[in-house]
Amino acid sequence: MFGFGKRHPIREISPGELHDRIADREVIVVDVREPGEFAGGHIPGAINLPLSRFDASQLPKAGDKTIVLNCAAGRRSAMALRKCADVPVDTHLRGGMGAWNRAGLPVER
């Protein structure tokens, strides 16, 4: 109402679907964990924008790609999505890096 607090519905993507979409070059992955966590292992090609200083205006220009946020378990990426009301970002990795690792998908260090 009155345009305040606009929110996009939050969309979740599975680790397998994200892996396929990365291979097809359809997504940009933004990891909102802290730098030390990111350095310990992240989705190959991911960009690190920690939640502690997250600013949606700093997200990369996506063009025709979808930006997908991720964190350790999905909570922080959902919190970051709430800060994206004025940008077209609405997707995060369901279960975060924990789910990615359990699926046996590649990790970059």
Express each pLDDT in 27-40 by its tens digit: 999 999 999 999 99
The 3-state DSSP class for residue 109 equals coil
In the chain, what are the domain boundaries?
Answer: 14-102
pTM given for the model: 0.91
Catalytic residue among 49, 67, 71, 93: 71
Q: Is the pLDDT of residue 79 over 70?
A: yes
- Told to judge if 71 belongs to the known catalytic residues of this protein, a careful annotator would answer yes
Span between the terminal Cα atoms of the chain, in Å: 45
Place of tokens 């994200």: 18
Per-residue model confidence (pLDDT) at position 8: 62
> Mean of the per-residue pLDDT values for the chain?
92
Q: What is the CATH number of domain 14-102?
A: 3.40.250.10
pLDDT, mean of residues 3-10: 60
